Structure 1
Amino acid sequence: MNTIINQSIRKTLQFVGLGVLGIVATSCTEDFVEMNKSKTAVVVLSPNEFPKLFSQALSQGSHHPSYQTGQNLFSDLYAQYFATTTPNFLSDRYFINMSWINSHWNPIYTQVVPQLKTLFENYQPNTAEYALSSIWWVFSFHRMTDHYGPIPYFDAGIPAQSVKYDAQDKIYDDFFKRLDAAVTVLKGKTTEKPFGVADIIYAGDVNKWIKFANTLRLRLALRISKVDPARAKTEAEAAVAGGVLTSAAEDAMMVRTAVSSADANGLSRIAAWGEFRMSATMESFLKGYNDPRMTEFFQPAFATKTYEGLRNGLSPAQLIEPLNTNDNNSNIGARWVRNTGTGSGWENIFAVKADIMHAAEAYFLRVEGALNGWNMGGGTAKSFYEDGIRASMATWGFSGAAVDAYINGTTPPVAPGDSQKSPAISNIPVKWGATEAVQREQIGTQKWLALYPDGMEAWAEVRRSGYPKLYNVVNSVNADVPTTEFIKRIPFIDAERQNNKAAVEAAVSLLGGPDKASTPLWWDKD
């Protein structure tokens, strides 16, 4: 970690401005003056460079170039949106390749942190630019801590031989404080356009950033609802009172271009490689519910012209069975990749926007809050639930009678017809149930569908809520996580054990259990 942190500020000069948007795609390193004598100090940048720093932080905090090893081979599989179809990847069988997971860890510390800290140093806390940077700091780091638990947080970006890890409850406390302060500032800046078009999510729309920040605050409040229900209630009610996302027009979608592979939609870039397909879990839900989103989420399998999925955790021998091959299972939707007419030929759609946060999520968070007895604004748990479905359908282009029929659907999930002859994943319908137990499962299931394709958030919610129900992996090669259980976290990375050993050893005591994939995080309580 000391190596990563010490290099991170210097890497600002190397990475900033590279391939973020067409207007900032050309390297701007030649515009920088030479570095100060200090090896860890950055040069003084022109204010014209600051928007590029923000663009880089946005990109690297969510859809960085190493999307496959940073997300797809871990959280996307743990959430069971997809299953791998290649025998070469053991991660679907719970093997954690520690060299791969560096692709999740490194971009935050080497690229997001230096960009944002530079912005913090050059803008006053009462500016809109500072507020947006603080919101993105929380977004980036909540995805980090929800992977590992304790992480270097308060001292991130400070050059030192050893950088301490912080307990997750302390990190979450800072998240809430940052979001509250940022929204307070932004409420007085609604006519400004901070960072302009370099803001590749909302193009400087302060009102949308306020709703994004409040929805993130609501997300984090529900995350801690089992371990700190009083704080969760306070934060959730404040978030809703401040205004959360309410329509698909407010969805946080990040502009991607085909200027370079670093700027492409990460999911699109890997979809043509033939290494994953729809999971059997997803098939069971989508087919059973006659879900119109299936045609947007996925494409018919090339060989069968039908929508098909396979179980997670299949062995190399099982993966070569006909039902489990690429041509017999569904790739992701044509929004990201298109078949050229042959089973192996796929054309990437690099420039499609990346999904950061959908308004539908806010409704499902409010449903759960309402069931908890919290003030979630005008509406009932049932109305929030149905509004959440409508918002998700709108995100994917559906409205009207088809959506009404879905909301009132009484059919349960179906057996996927996979090679394992799996039963239906659940027996609950879409139509709002009569008991709280059924309702909570319905909320978790519909939220999981609405979060697609954000496997990071979906995996976190599966761990926290226990929903939706998922199939056990068929095979596990991780001695700490048998097939009867689900993976709980990513262990501390090897590079940290080598370069920041004392801090990592101290962090284990903050974890509340051994440094294993089976140890639940602070907020993950039954």
Structure 2
Amino acid sequence: MKRYNKIMITICTSLFIWGCTSDFEEVNTNPEGFSNEQLTQDFNHVKELLPPMLYSIYPFSLTSSLGSYQLQGSLIADVYSGYMGIPTPYRGNNNNTHYSLVDGWNQEPWTIAYGFNMSNFLKLEERSEDNVTLAPFLALGRIARVEAMHRVSDIYGPIIFSRYGSSDTATPFDSQKDVYYQFFAELDLAVNDLTKAINSEQPEIVGSADVSKYAGSYRAWIKFANSLRLRLAMRIVNADGDKARSEAETAMANEFGVIESPSENFIVTNTASVHPVEILSSGTNDVRMGASIESIMVGYKDPRLSRYFDFSTFPGLEDTYKGMRSGINIDDKNDYLPFSLIGDVVEDTHDALLMTAAEVYFLRAEGALRGWAGMGGTAQFLYETGIRSSFEQHGLAGAEEYIADESSKPINYIDPANKGYNIEAVSTATIKWDESAEPEVKLEKIITQKWIACFPESNEPWAEFRRTGYPKLFPVAENKSRGEISTKEFIRRINFPITEKNGNPQGVADAVKLLGGGRPDTGGTRLWWDVPGSNF
């Protein structure tokens, strides 16, 4: 009852805020009557800009946060990653889960990123220009901008980045290749400035402006920047292998290193009292466990299941975990409400976990598999360390037994509410490392375990599924894309926002050309880094 009351109070508060959304400029305007001297005292004129940049990466502490999260995450990556199912038959069973993309929903990742992250960075850059003292603020802003905007690029492809804020009638987009190169350059600048501040023994002045768990620690932010560089390097490996290797090796060679312990995970603190996924799961009943994660984690007898999900209450299936497929036709929402809710992983914390030590170990494992220098161990050692790190993060025992399991495999999926959606397991991958296996087999193990470890943060797993094809997921049950998206090849991106098409039509028209090869602005078009075929 206590948990229910907490959720309902937050729903009421969130819906009130959502219905009373203020203009962004008003939200971020300084209190009336503050003088310029007061604003610049204790760096308040730049401190005020960092929190909205960080909160916009994962919208839970912004105006209209519940609605924003649902549109930015729940109805895009949460579903497309295979993590979650949607029991609500939105738009008469004709919505994103069926590949019938809804323009009014799919502009939200863009709107949030530009309205809160990019706009505040522009102000931060202007206010700290040529001021060495303020360089650390700008450095953190650069890293936060890269973290936010790579997610946006991984959703749409080309984005507005280098010319953002220009007075051009048609604001030009950057190609995804160009913007990724700019991400690496931004991380260079940020790491260099923070390193200078550390070497000159400057006091750490960011303080309360850093609403992450790092609390303004320059060393922690450098580790995150290096880890983020490693993530972005791996993302482009199939499109630009030499650049990928160079950036990955640069990340690992930095004197401050990368994230190596769960205590160093990059977490943005939430000012709300409940996680948006918990609201959508236990409060509004709009989210349940996904079928793919049931198949894999139940098949693996994965101890993390008890942290990620609650038991089903479906008659006869109590004390089991039950997920639902994406893109099914739902006659009655009540048929799927007994399926598994999202569990303690969102109930115990309302913060946003955006990068973990486990993810970084799996990135390093893939780097070692590819023969890259400086990854800090063999692929097997790093793979197994990634699993151990994930278990440690969740306070679970049994990692060694899990790592040694050479027989457990994903299981067939059975839908007790509609047997027409039953489907056989699509993967035979096991857990135990096999050094004699082919590289693709080893990569499937690495990515599958990274996918499990990243839950519930879904943007990265969805991107990695598109890059590698792993883990193998169940296809959409009912494809209503009118031929724009292949059921076999899955959705590859989200089309450009309708607001941008209306407000910047020439910019969007040019951006479509940047998709390459005359490919259309649809969910079936692959991004630059999303290269079909073998991963090696």
TM-score bin (small chain): 0.7 to 0.9
Q: Is 1:355 matched up with 2:353?
A: yes
User: Partners of 1:136 and 1:443 in 2: how far apart?
Assistant: 27
Partner residue, 2:190: 182
Match of 1:500 among 504, 510, 514: 504
Match of 1:314 among 328, 335, 346: 328
Partner residue, 1:52: 48
Partner residue, 1:204: 216
User: Partners of 2:185 and 2:205 in 1: how far apart?
Assistant: 21
User: Partners of 2:297 and 2:372 in 1: how far apart?
Assistant: 31
- AA in 1 matched with 2:71: T
Residue pairs, 1:84-95, within 5 angstroms: 84-88=86-90, 90-95=95-100
Match of 2:150 among 131, 142, 145: 142
Question: How many residues align structurally?
Answer: 477
Partner residue, 2:32: 30
The alignment's TM-score, normalised by the length of structure 2, stands at 0.85
Partner residue, 1:344: none
Partner residue, 1:345: none
Range with greater deviation from structure 2 (137-146 or 156-165): 156-165
Task: Give the drift of 1:265.
Answer: 3.2
Assess, with a 3 A threshold, how the Cα gap between structure 1 residues 86 and 437 changes in structure 2: closer, same or farther: same
Match of 2:226 among 199, 214, 225: 214
User: Partners of 1:233 and 1:240 in 2: how far apart?
Assistant: 11
SS at match of 2:358: helix
Partner residue, 2:69: 67
* 1:259-312 deviations in Å (ceiling 9; x for gaps): 7xxxx5332332221112111110111111111110111111234232111111
Partner residue, 1:241: 253
Assess, with a 3 A threshold, how the Cα gap between structure 1 residues 194 and 453 changes in structure 2: closer, same or farther: farther
- AA in 2 matched with 1:475: E
User: Partners of 1:140 and 1:161 in 2: how far apart?
Assistant: 25
Residue pairs, 1:93-132, within 5 angstroms: 93-124=98-129, 127-132=135-140
User: Partners of 2:485 and 2:375 in 1: how far apart?
Assistant: 41
User: Partners of 2:263 and 2:429 in 1: how far apart?
Assistant: 30
Partner residue, 2:296: 285
Match of 1:161 among 158, 164, 169: 169
- AA in 1 matched with 2:206: F
Task: Give the drift of 1:413.
Answer: 1.4
Q: Is 1:417 matched up with 2:425?
A: no
Task: Give the drift of 1:185.
Answer: 1.8
User: Partners of 2:116 and 2:23 in 1: how far apart?
Assistant: 7
Partner residue, 1:515: 521
User: Partners of 1:437 and 1:516 in 2: how far apart?
Assistant: 29
User: Partners of 1:485 and 1:335 in 2: how far apart?
Assistant: 31
Q: Is 1:256 matched up with 2:270?
A: yes
* 1:203-229 deviations in Å (ceiling 9; x for gaps): 101111111101110011011101110
Task: Give the drift of 1:257.
Answer: 2.3
* 1:348-407 deviations in Å (ceiling 9; x for gaps): x7x6211111111111111111111101333100000001111111111124xx110111
Equivalent pair of 1:83/1:310 in contact (CA under 8 Å) = yes
* 1:307-364 deviations in Å (ceiling 9; x for gaps): 11111110124x6584xx111x111013434xxxxxxxxxxx7x62111111111111
Q: Is 1:231 matched up with 2:253?
A: no
User: Partners of 2:215 and 2:50 in 1: how far apart?
Assistant: 12
Partner residue, 1:403: 399
Task: Give the drift of 1:14.
Answer: 1.6
User: Partners of 1:31 and 1:112 in 2: how far apart?
Assistant: 26
User: Partners of 1:440 and 1:335 in 2: how far apart?
Assistant: 26
Partner residue, 2:340: 330
SS at match of 1:336: helix
Assess, with a 3 A threshold, how the Cα gap between structure 1 residues 44 and 159 changes in structure 2: closer, same or farther: farther
User: Partners of 2:392 and 2:430 in 1: how far apart?
Assistant: 21
Task: Give the drift of 1:78.
Answer: 0.6
User: Partners of 1:421 and 1:269 in 2: how far apart?
Assistant: 28
User: Partners of 2:396 and 2:26 in 1: how far apart?
Assistant: 43
Task: Give the drift of 1:194.
Answer: 4.0
Task: Give the drift of 1:124.
Answer: 4.6
Assess, with a 3 A threshold, how the Cα gap between structure 1 residues 297 and 376 changes in structure 2: closer, same or farther: farther
User: Partners of 2:96 and 2:59 in 1: how far apart?
Assistant: 20
User: Partners of 1:236 and 1:520 in 2: how far apart?
Assistant: 23
* 1:14-35 deviations in Å (ceiling 9; x for gaps): 2238xxxxxxxxxx5335579x
Task: Give the drift of 1:198.
Answer: 2.5
Q: Is 1:380 matched up with 2:348?
A: no
Equivalent pair of 2:237/2:245 in contact (CA under 8 Å) = yes
Equivalent pair of 2:485/2:524 in contact (CA under 8 Å) = yes
Equivalent pair of 2:46/2:137 in contact (CA under 8 Å) = no
User: Partners of 1:230 and 1:205 in 2: how far apart?
Assistant: 32
Equivalent pair of 1:277/1:310 in contact (CA under 8 Å) = yes
- AA in 1 matched with 2:511: A
Q: Is there any run of 5+ residues in structure 1 with no aligned partner, and where?
A: 1-9, 18-27, 35-42, 338-348
Partner residue, 1:173: 181
CA root-mean-square deviation: 2.2
- AA in 1 matched with 2:44: N
The alignment's TM-score, normalised by the length of structure 1, stands at 0.86
User: Partners of 2:500 and 2:129 in 1: how far apart?
Assistant: 33
Assess, with a 3 A threshold, how the Cα gap between structure 1 residues 247 and 430 changes in structure 2: closer, same or farther: same
User: Partners of 1:503 and 1:44 in 2: how far apart?
Assistant: 37
Residue pairs, 1:265-276, within 5 angstroms: 265-271=275-281, 272-276=283-287
* 1:32-82 deviations in Å (ceiling 9; x for gaps): 579xxxxxxxx9866314222101110012224110011110111110100
Task: Give the drift of 1:412.
Answer: 1.0
Give the % identical residues. 36
SS at match of 1:29: coil
User: Partners of 1:218 and 1:11 in 2: how far apart?
Assistant: 36
User: Partners of 1:217 and 1:200 in 2: how far apart?
Assistant: 21
* 1:83-105 deviations in Å (ceiling 9; x for gaps): 11111252111121111122211
Assess, with a 3 A threshold, how the Cα gap between structure 1 residues 484 and 456 changes in structure 2: closer, same or farther: same
- AA in 2 matched with 1:91: N
User: Partners of 1:511 and 1:369 in 2: how far apart?
Assistant: 28
Equivalent pair of 1:279/1:311 in contact (CA under 8 Å) = yes
User: Partners of 1:498 and 1:32 in 2: how far apart?
Assistant: 37
Assess, with a 3 A threshold, how the Cα gap between structure 1 residues 50 and 417 changes in structure 2: closer, same or farther: same
Equivalent pair of 1:308/1:416 in contact (CA under 8 Å) = no
